[in-house]
Structure 1
Amino acid sequence: MDLLIYLAKVSCILTLFWVIYSLFLEAETYHRLKRAYLHLGYIFSLILPLFTFTKIEEISFKESSLIPSSSEFAATEISSTRMELFWSFMTENSVIELIYMNISLMFAALLMIKFYKLLKLLNRSKAFKKEGFIHVNQSIPEGAFSFLNYIVYDPNLYSEEEMKLILAHEKAHVVYKHSFDILLSHVYNSFFWFNPFAWLYQKSLVLNLEYEADAKAVSETAKADYQMTLYKITQQHFKSQLQHSFHQSPIKKRIAMLNKNNRPQSVWKLLIVSPLLVVFFLLFQVETKAQIKESVTTSESKITRIEITYDVNTTIAVIESDVSFLKEDFDIDMTFSDTKFGVNGKLISISLSVETNEGFSGSVSSSDVASRPVYFFRDFSEGAEVPFGVGTRSKTEMDSEMNYETMKNAENFIINGKKIDKEELVGNYIPVETSSYNDKSKTLSVTTKSEFSQSYFSDISDLLKELKTASANRVLDEFIYIRLTSEYKVTMMKISDFKVPDNVGKASKNDDSQKRKEFNNENIVYMLNGKKIDESQMTSIEPKEIDSINVVKSKEDLKAAGYNPNFVDGLIKITSKKVNTTDASESENSYDAFKSSLINKESAIYIVDGKEVDKKKISEINHNQIASIFIIKSVEAIEEAGFDPKKVDGLIKITTKKGVKE
């Protein structure tokens, strides 16, 4: 397609030159300048389309300009017409270009054949050289013609006086080397045969050559005799050839031109084409390229917070660079010591000491930055709650703290890849391994640790129970969970450095202080041997006197114990060793209590002195022989005893005085 565009531009320029020549220059008598003008027409038409000027135009746009004003689009199926399909086939397979090349080669072949025939004619004819011209006497239809240095003529057709005038004309063609002009026009037309103006241009060129030769011949002979000779030969037959024939051009125009030789010359007309060429260049040869203008906005920036964290990926070069940066830009002195690096140059342990010019200071150490990275921050913003800090924290904690301020207003929840309705999550405990928050969609995504069998738990004791591993006990560095309040606000809790016992529901006698720690800042009811006591009374209990501690937090168990779960977060029931020596009637687990709870339920399991017995045998036991009765209704305790809570409403454990002695 580029070839066709080039050919069209060449034809357009040549046509422009010919139109200007026909309108303004053809009647002028400065034939040498007109010849040069016609030569420039050939040259400029071939060269100018090859040159382009690239114009860069800067544009700026807003992002909104790229977004359609309407989001409604109608899908439309466009089918091509036969003409469009035909044209697509022609262009894709370069059919037009192939047709053009074949025809051009045919014209070039015809030109070569003409040239060959002319050379053959000149070589087989008898010739003699005279005054630098090669004369060939040959009977030819044209009568006389010239080509290069050859002048061919038939002396039998003309008188001696006519022959003299004809030879003067042909010698002018040879002297001015007009044969090269003719060859140029024929070669040009072989490739631009499709342009009708190219053929008209050739005729104008040949006629101007005749004007020039006539002017030369008239300068050496009488004008009247020369004009009469031209008139006499108008009836002779001629054909278009490569050579110059004396009667090749219209005789009337040539005679008229001979009479204009003394007219004033308007050379300025040669320049008429110049502005038109400039217009053509601007219209077709200037290529505009768009360049996006970068919008430069200036704004004052102010650092409001500096935060630096050193972990296993930190190198000594980074630390030294930070020390220099803090001192030079913020007048903060940071020193480090006790650094240890691995073979790969990465940090293992470090101690930091930081002091600011405002009076803040602090220090921190970590023997294992892989698990406990160290950090330092300075908040310069007005009203900052914590303007300065130095310490250690895990990567999970760092990620959680960064996300908490934004994620507390989350509206959508994805837990382990599954979207959960927020109504279902209200009041539940969601353990966090990793979390991410999308502020645009207000979506909180949480993944839990592999140790958890559920995505979230309704009771904290159930969640803690899930933290058991293969060993009986596990000490955690930290544990993070989130809850969704009734106002649909996300709250985050972190528990650090605590021990998760093997049996969460019933703690060992040495776990009373740990249980108290677990329930700090919650509304807890403490009971000792079935009686409610104050928290201050808990400190007076000797650990060696404690037989067991039972934690109750589920809503069902709290209701069964007579408490409102909306006001009481949990019960801590402590049983001392002396309960085993008290009378059963004085205990919470007395015979009357046993009779009023599960005695009438068919699904209750009865265990006497550690052995399961039939309900009928219970009535055979003398209540005066009963040492203690324990009623178990919590789901966890029933499961731990090896029973299915869905099939069993509760366990009644009876210990007789005989069983105690045993």
Structure 2
Amino acid sequence: MEALFIFILKSSGLLATFYFAYIFLLRKETFFNSSRWFLLAGLITSLVLPFVVYTKVIWVEAPPAPTELTATEMAEIRNITAEIQNSTTYKPLHASHVTAVQEENFDIDWNLVAAAVYGIGFLAFMIKFALDFYSLNTVLKGKKIKQQEDFKLIDVKENIAPFSYFDYIVYNSSLYTAAELENILEHEKVHSDQNHTIDVLISRIFCILFWFNPIVWLYKKAILQNLEFIADYEASKKISDKKAYQYTLLKITTHETCVAITNHFYQSLIKKRIVMLNKNQSNKRNYWKYYAVIPALGAFVLLFQIETIAQEKKQKEVVSVQKDSIKDADEIIKITKNTSNKELNELPGKLKASHNLDVEISDVKRNTKEELTGIQIKVNSGANHKQTIKIDSSEPIKDCELAIGTDENGSKSIAIINDRNISSPVIVKNGKVIVRSYGDSDVAPPTPPTPPTFPSGPLPVAPTVDMSKMPKPPVAPKNPMDKVAMKKFEKEMDEFEKKMEKFQPNLDAMSAYGDAVSEIMSKREAIFEKEMAKYELAMEKFNEKMEQFNYNFNFKFGDDSSDNENNMKQYEQDMKQYELDMKQLEKNMKQHEKNMKQHEKNMKEMEKQNKKA
């Protein structure tokens, strides 16, 4: 109910904005058609804009997580509770001291009252609307209709003011002279031709829905008044005697009976209509007045249609680094700044023989004194278990030891140890020591699938046909009645047919060649389409694997990893190669399309020659 009340307030405010903008800025202007669309836009805006809500998100810090109380704090709380209970004397009340008091409260449900009042008003105006339709149907039913262009003219005997309803125009010809009747019909034809009845019905429906809002009734009056201005202005263009038209307006005021939900000639504001009819055209510079409502609509949206939602910032999850702990060390290998390249080169073979570990040593860096400053050791112990140990510094490395043994999972593993017991990423002065463990499925970037190539191969050899040796048909004589010429033509045709019989094998060979090429290319296209379908499925799986790879890698190792950088460079190279493959595929497709066009061209040329033959 509260939401409905807010909607009514917003809608009424928008309707009032358009109405007062028309009254104070546009009512005296002669841009009648523009004012018509302005007023209709006001009705639609007041109904739609309250439902347009923009959401603005404000990020706030998440409240700190509740801390768990220690045993000491819990004991203190229990002691304080006991002291409070001991210092308070509870005196139970006897049943006789308790008096039950019952108080009946009568609450009025104002929401229900408001809904009932609205329903009664809505029902009353709907009944009035139905009665107006019944009254209109009574006037139109059984009357003789005279068709004139697109209009249906009905001449009635009732003493009612002339009116139009869509393409119906109703009048009493006995009440007016021929000139007056002509003025009336021109006026009503404007109403009918521009479908003013739709404006009348829309404004009436709004009055039924918002019957309790006085602005709606004033708004409807403004719409009807502007429609009369339009009809007067357009009708006066087709009438030579404007004074006679104005006298007709005054004469119609004597008729008090009007049919509702119609555009009737009579209006109570005859004086204003005559004033507007004689007013000079407004300057086009005054069109700015139609845009004066835009700032008000913008302010309405900013003030009432922006919903602010507060969301808690997601706290960065602290990723726990699982250290590569060695349960039982089988061997310890010491690496110092003076370890030679020979010793490093011998290390992979030694570990392979002793522990069946595949070790790769790379990125060995030394300073000018030949002291070791950087090294990367990759270990593969099988079962999707890999390790990367990387030391990168601008200064000589500290003495460290590689402990080879069995970890908690029973797999062979290597841990790096020095005086600070380094086994996880730490900063050593201005260098980094990185120890990582990961599986192939987690961090190894997937390989993009290779795009298919269009099947190639030899095509049948095209037969050589000299089309210049093809016999030319004889020309028929212009006068078919010339027997000599016709006899000569028949003789030439016999000779032409004999020559064509000799030339026909060449044409048959060309046709067979075209059929063979078409069959081969169709088979190749079918094979290529199947391969492309497989390739598209493989690309979908590749994209899924890449998303998983990026997520797992960033989650485990963060953005500062040099391994991440190397892997991403490798990934970029793979993607560049993939782009090259796709360009080559596109090139092959263009070449195939070119070949097919050339083939079609050859076939058309053959058909053309056959037709000439």
More strand by share: 1
Higher relative contact order (CA 8 A, sep 6+): 2
TM-score (norm. length: structure 1): 0.43
Q: Which entry has the higher C-alpha Rg, 1 or 2?
A: 1
Q: Normalization by structure 2: what TM-score? A: 0.46
